[in-house]
Structure 1
Amino acid sequence: MTHRFSVSPANALEFNFIGDELTEGALQVWRALPERIRQDPSLASFRQEHERLHGYEPTDVDPLPSDDVDERSQNNGVVDVDLVNDNDCLDHKPSDNVKKFNAFNITNEMGQMRILDGREVENNNDDQQDDPEQSVTSKVKKYLIWFKISVLLVVWMVFTAFLMSTNEHVDVLKLISIPANGAKKLFPISTEELTRIGLSLKGPFRLQEADTVVDKLQRPPPLLEVCVERVYYNISGETADTEIVSNVWQLDVVYPEAMDYTRETKKTSQFEISPIDDTNPAHGNISQLNLRFESTIAAELPMQLCIDKSPIYKKEGVIYAAIVLCGLYIMIIWEIVNRTFAAIIASTLSVGILAALNSRPSMVTIMGWIDVETLLLLFGMMILVAILSETGVFDYLAVYAYKITNGHVWPLINCLCLFTAVLSSFLDNVTTVLLMTPVTIRLCEVMSLNPVPILMCMVIYSNIGGALTPVGDPPNVIIASNNFISKNGVNFAVFTLHMLPGVILVMLQTYLQLRFKFRNISDLQFKESPEIEDLRHEIQVWKRAAASLSSYSKDEELVRQTLMKKVNRLKSSLKKKIATTVDPAIDYKQTLENLQAKYPIRNKTLLIKCSCALIFVISLFFLHSVPELQRLSLGWTALLGAIFLIILADIEDMEAILARVEWSTLLFFAALFILMEALSELGLIEWIGSMTENFILGVGEESRLMVAVLIILWVSCYLY
């Protein structure tokens, strides 16, 4: 390979340092500079003097590109360099095997010249790697990483030790029959002295007033009262005294005629037991704790019960649960670890805390905590979106928006936001935004727009559109899949109908707010070109290097002045770039043709098949309002639609489709389901509910609804 250079000595960059001025002290100051600054052409005389005295030291670090070229003229110091094969070394005609690049010729006072070609120019973003401030920052980051690893290891050891040292808590159910018409029933607990007990009952209890059978005789609803009773015995074994040592727990039960077809419901409670009063002479040395049941129902009441003699102390459980929840949000907000991994750690730690409190759940119980219906719906919709993205329809819609708006800024933004909102209503909003981002950035490039505010607008409208339907956003999926919600007639159509007015109002309000915020088109455009921003960044790098040197010694002052000369040359180059930069005119027709050629519908046949599957799924979603068609849940509908599309599309590379499923999101929600149930077992959810209820009841009755809505709004803002 022969290299041919066209070099003009007249245009060379001169460095006017006399050899005597470069003392060993100055060279020591030069050696203390960051590597990329030392290798810059403006400090070539220092490097050459160092090599003359100490020998050549090879380095793999590329120097910073010199900006002195722009100070002289457009072509001074820059030459075209041809890389020609050996067979073409005598032939200077251009050929296909010739590569061209730019080169800088640099000479010092001794006439030594070095060619810095374009292959040695690297991104200026790496300039800071040897900067003193960067070095301190890297050390701090290193210590923080070790601190993070240490904390996570401690957490891992804690819940591992708890899980290894505790067996699974198994509920022992016992059958009991409560006599009718107020007769008492005693169930022995223990002769030991307990401070609290937990009780679980399964029987025909009423969930809410809507489940109550209308009584034509206007009888009062039957009740079941449960409490803990202590019986004292004397030396001869006879009953000496009895007393109620806990609060009374009241439960609503169904009427006798509805008992046979009422589903069993589980109710749990905890009783705080009063200590023995030793000052009472009637209290002997022997005592027995019993559960006392008393029912007002006019028939025997069968049920199952389970007694926990060492239940979780709710006050302690709330504290532990709050610590776990705060730790989760700290890890997610500050991105200490991946959010999925953070949820796994938090959920495992919460299960470990339950184990430490002698309430370790079984694996069957933990799997029952996961809302499979929600995960099934998300999985089915992810499969649909993964196959639909292969058609290129998302890119096509963005280009179509550019076409129908004739390239005008605000009409284009409105179309992009509207398309995003509509797609996010029926598809996963995160995936929709990710798929539309590349072509949106390309549109911003051709229109000289800053893509950040436009993408933020699309994200906002994606969230608004996702709130419209039960399948648009994971929280909506969780709400719509709840048994209580679905049993009370909130289907797909009812949910969408109630959300539609609010979504429209929010979209209008958001549009007005965005128009006001970006009322000047210049706010949507780049303030400066990327070349100018890079040049400003390089100036800051050299300024920091110069500021790190003091002026107390002659050697440091010499190096500092050299660096400041480089800064002044860069500033001069920056002024010229700012003065000569002109925004290129946008050719709408040519740009549209290029975009349409680059982003067409890649597979029209597959698009038709995807449309058929989406029509099937969305139709079944809306047909859930028909009672005869409510046998299929939303999750089953999405899964059937995904299977239908896979059959139509004849997918052979199934691994590629499954690779595009957001498994981390599914695992994240599965871990969150486990975490929330574990926190509920610890008593945090009940505590938050009671605090919220008391706060709402503390305001006037006419303002309670508004306060409740505001609490849900702002709590969701920080917790989701």
Structure 2
Amino acid sequence: MEKELSISSSKTVFKSINIPSTSKVKISVPVPDTKTINSRFNGVNTETEDVTRQAFLQNRDTEGMKYDVKHYYKILKIGGLVLVWLICGYALWVNNERDKESYELNIPNGSSYSFVIYELPKDNKIKVILDGRFLPPYYANLTREHMDVWVQLMVMKDVPTNPEYIDNTNVISLQNVSENWQLPLANNKFLDQIPETECSKVFQLIPYETKNFTYHLLSLQFNTNLQSNFTVSMKYNLQPTNPEDGVLYAALILIILYSTIIFEVIHRTMASILASTISVAALAAYDQRPSMAELISWIDIETLILLFSMMTIVSIFSETGIFDYIAVIAFQKSGGKLWTLIYLLCGLSTLTACFLDTVTAALLVTPITIKLCEVMKINPIQILIYTVLSANIGGAITPIGDPPNVLIASYPDVVKAGVTFGKFTLHMGVGVCITLVVIGLQIKILYRDMKYYQSDEPQEIRDLKREIAAWERTAASVSSYSRDENIIKDTLLKQTAQLQNKLKDTVNNCYFTSYDTRVEQIEDLKRQYPIRNKSLLIKSGITLALVISVFFLNSFPTFCNLGLGWTALLGVILLLLLYDTKDLEGIFARVEWSTLIFFASLFILMEALSRLGLIDWVGKQTQYVITSVGPESRLATALVLILWVSSVVSALVDNLPLATMMIRIAADMSNNEDLHLPLPPLIWAIAFGSCLGGNSTLLGSSSNIICAGVAEQHGYRITFLEFLKVGLPVMLSSTVVITLYLLLCHVILNWQ
């Protein structure tokens, strides 16, 4: 049976199509007639189509140009990076490792000791490194005992038949070709009580002439006025780094590092690996290529063990659901008020950093912050930056809050000056409390607009992107060694492709909605985020409490034998034994290995920059300015200059070598009787500058990097510029506040 459906029109011709079925239906499909078509093409519709066609062609050309630019940029980037790799490889290939041999010298009393050098320096410079029981330079006026070191030229008649033995009858003349280097020593009675220290000096040789003589050698001369023999360990380098060139190369390496990170040329971990390789290649170009054992010694293994252990503990702890639950409870207690939660998180971060350390604070507070922001349906990046800035400021309060504080508080001259745990906390705590109040008001005024806490994309798109990133990381972690693994990897990649297609459809159909402060009811949130594993929560809680307790006990000399690294590692071992799981690969896969590699590369980079002379150059310039001003304004100048130099330099390089150098300079100036500078105020300036300076950039502090790494694992990427926009104003304002605080307390009120 066939049924016919027809529609008539004066301007439309209908064409019938038969559809076979049990009861056939004839459907008439309208087709425009020729007159209608011509009228459309000859009228306004034709013009519209022309405009549309032109817009389409123009858009296609624009997209093509964008593709070409991106394509050429990628080629140029890879080509430039490969060129840098080739240059570094060549520098490391042509220069052998220089693991400087150490010589044990026994200098007799009453006569000089001669050490012959059988090679000639390339640039008339010799660097001598001595390790022995030397007094600090500022004790030179308090002792009569000393050791003199200088370089001597030996002119000979003939080439010696045995270079290891010099016949005095073959020596024609001896000539001193360098200035004298005098090192203070303790007398024989107290010599054994002096700790061994390392001293170094670069001798600039005086131009000399050998006339027509056949052969000449250089020798290092040692002489002491002690009543007994003196033992010293010596190394020398015939091609030392030129300080001016070394500082220039170090600055260039820093520019390369920060440029690649700021403009996101490559991942920050890869950027640090590249910068550390360039720095080692620069040392190799100066014939100072370190051995592999020396490179490993530059890495702070204890810090890496601490980070690895705490990452593992937090990873297992997160399986219990405790971070989600704490976020819901915090939301309930604050009533969902944004700024109440921000101040609550910042306060928690400050207290954790104060009594533990900034790294532990970042590892513990970052996941809580992320979960809390997800509950409130806001972007956590801005609030994460607030919390890590608070941790860096809070870590300045106690000697255990930040690594530079540990170094400063344990320095012998600082201990001798009477700086105890309580005195350190009192002086630093007052300044930090004032700073926290000012910073709290600053961020409330500058960032009160809700646009800083919204995302540029709808929540649905953000969730999809994080899910895709999680699937991609999981697929990348699966190897292709076996057939089963290949099947799993293909399944993961197919799921990733499906999610990417879904993301494209969502982007086209999803519209951004404004921030909504209304969230689910508290009871619904508690049901959504319960404690998932109470047994594991108890085990993890006991382990974490034990580790944190021992961390705190490490601040007391009686209990500091174990160290933070061993404490955390023993805690991980205990937790893994209590957890009793066979899936260790899954636990270790959640460790942020890229962050650990970043730190290892950064340690090598900082030591290489120090050997290139950057840190010493900064210290010498600072000391020169301080000593050049009048006595009446010398303390104020020293406080302001040390504080701001420490803050600015800590934003660019690691604050540990900087603090090491600055504390040495402060001790030297304090012991100089002509300057009359008290040591404690200088100590507070160094501690404040080292801690506050890390707030300005993403690389300025270890806690900044840890926070960014944890956030990236959760799908939130903190860029260098995002951190800089918030961190730099905070660093400047906090440093200004501390400048006024130091001048008021130690210059005007004379609180020493």
TM-score (norm 2): 0.64
Q: CA deviation at 1:264?
A: 4.2
1:604 counterpart letter in structure 2: K
Q: Which residue of 1 aligns with 2:446?
A: 517
Pick aligned residue for 1:166 from 95, 102, 109: 95
Distance 1:709 1:621 in 2: 28
Change in Cα spacing, 1:190 to 1:275, as seen in structure 2 (3 Å) is farther
The structure with more radius of gyration: 1
**Pairs within 5 Å for 1:551-562:** none
Aligned: 1:189 with 2:114 = no
Is the 8 Å Cα contact of residues 540 and 575 (structure 2) preserved in structure 1? Answer: yes
Change in Cα spacing, 1:682 to 1:28, as seen in structure 2 (3 Å) is same
Q: CA deviation at 1:220?
A: 1.7
Q: Which residue of 1 aligns with 2:639?
A: 705
Pick aligned residue for 2:581 from 627, 644, 651: 651
Aligned: 1:229 with 2:152 = yes
**Pairs within 5 Å for 1:222-371:** 222-231=145-154, 242-260=174-192, 264-276=196-208, 287-371=216-300
Q: Deviations over 1:28-65 (max 9, x none)?
A: 65445449x9xxxxxxxxxxxxxxxxxxxxxxxxxxxx
Distance 1:438 1:22 in 2: 55
Q: Deviations over 1:152-186 (max 9, x none)?
A: 111111111122222221323333222225x3333
Is the 8 Å Cα contact of residues 156 and 170 (structure 2) preserved in structure 1? Answer: yes
Distance 2:456 2:361 in 1: 32
Structure 2: gaps spanning 5 or more residues: 1-28, 30-36, 159-167, 462-510, 654-699, 701-752
1:658 counterpart letter in structure 2: F
Partner SS for 1:391: coil
Q: Which residue of 2 aligns with 1:696?
A: 626
Distance 1:354 1:360 in 2: 5
Distance 1:649 1:31 in 2: 66
Is the 8 Å Cα contact of residues 203 and 304 (structure 1) preserved in structure 2? Answer: yes
Is the 8 Å Cα contact of residues 325 and 531 (structure 2) preserved in structure 1? Answer: yes
Distance 1:689 1:528 in 2: 45
Is the 8 Å Cα contact of residues 376 and 517 (structure 2) preserved in structure 1? Answer: no
Partner SS for 2:201: strand
Q: CA deviation at 1:206?
A: 3.5
Distance 1:25 1:464 in 2: 65
Greater alpha carbon shift after TM alignment, 609-618 vs 693-702? 693-702
Q: Which residue of 2 aligns with 1:508?
A: 437
Q: CA deviation at 1:200?
A: 2.4
Aligned: 1:203 with 2:126 = no
Is the 8 Å Cα contact of residues 199 and 269 (structure 1) preserved in structure 2? Answer: yes
Change in Cα spacing, 1:421 to 1:166, as seen in structure 2 (3 Å) is same
Partner SS for 1:359: coil
Q: CA deviation at 1:208?
A: 7.7
Distance 2:516 2:250 in 1: 59
Q: CA deviation at 1:303?
A: 2.1
Distance 1:143 1:614 in 2: 51
Distance 1:16 1:593 in 2: 67
Q: CA deviation at 1:390?
A: 1.7
Distance 2:455 2:238 in 1: 69
Distance 1:496 1:142 in 2: 56
Distance 1:470 1:188 in 2: 47
Q: Deviations over 1:659-698 (max 9, x none)?
A: 2212112111111111122222322322222223223334
The Cα RMSD (Å) is 4.3
Q: Which residue of 1 aligns with 2:329?
A: 400
Aligned: 1:636 with 2:570 = no
Pairs aligned (count) = 551
1:480 counterpart letter in structure 2: V
Structure 1: gaps spanning 5 or more residues: 1-8, 10-14, 38-129, 213-217, 534-576
Partner SS for 1:18: helix
Q: CA deviation at 1:460?
A: 3.4
Distance 1:488 1:233 in 2: 52
Change in Cα spacing, 1:455 to 1:639, as seen in structure 2 (3 Å) is closer
2:275 counterpart letter in structure 1: A
Q: Which residue of 1 aligns with 2:371?
A: 439
**Pairs within 5 Å for 1:462-481:** 462-465=391-394, 467=396, 476-477=402-403, 480=406
Is the 8 Å Cα contact of residues 480 and 491 (structure 1) preserved in structure 2? Answer: no
Which structure dedicates a bigger proportion of its chain to helix?
A: 2
1:300 counterpart letter in structure 2: N
Distance 1:672 1:712 in 2: 18
Q: CA deviation at 1:241?
A: 5.6
1:510 counterpart letter in structure 2: I
Distance 2:353 2:347 in 1: 10
Q: Deviations over 1:556-600 (max 9, x none)?
A: xxxxxxxxxxxxxxxxxxxxx99xx9998948xx62222222122
Is the 8 Å Cα contact of residues 151 and 178 (structure 2) preserved in structure 1? Answer: yes
Q: Which residue of 1 aligns with 2:346?
A: 417
Q: CA deviation at 1:25?
A: 8.6
1:226 counterpart letter in structure 2: V
Q: Deviations over 1:320-373 (max 9, x none)?
A: 232222211211222211111111111112222222222221111111111112
Is the 8 Å Cα contact of residues 491 and 624 (structure 1) preserved in structure 2? Answer: no
2:259 counterpart letter in structure 1: I
Q: Which residue of 2 aligns with 1:544?
A: none
Q: Which residue of 2 aligns with 1:146?
A: 75
Q: Which residue of 1 aligns with 2:471?
A: none
Is the 8 Å Cα contact of residues 327 and 369 (structure 2) preserved in structure 1? Answer: no
Is the 8 Å Cα contact of residues 148 and 180 (structure 2) preserved in structure 1? Answer: yes
Distance 1:321 1:583 in 2: 46
Distance 1:191 1:456 in 2: 55
Pick aligned residue for 2:143 from 220, 234, 250: 220
Change in Cα spacing, 1:583 to 1:224, as seen in structure 2 (3 Å) is closer
Q: CA deviation at 1:641?
A: 1.5
Is the 8 Å Cα contact of residues 373 and 481 (structure 1) preserved in structure 2? Answer: no
2:258 counterpart letter in structure 1: Y
Distance 2:603 2:198 in 1: 19
Q: Which residue of 2 aligns with 1:715?
A: 649
Distance 1:614 1:331 in 2: 38
Aligned sequence identity (%): 35
Q: CA deviation at 1:618?
A: 1.9
Distance 2:150 2:422 in 1: 46
Q: CA deviation at 1:259?
A: 4.3
Partner SS for 1:256: coil
Aligned: 1:679 with 2:609 = yes
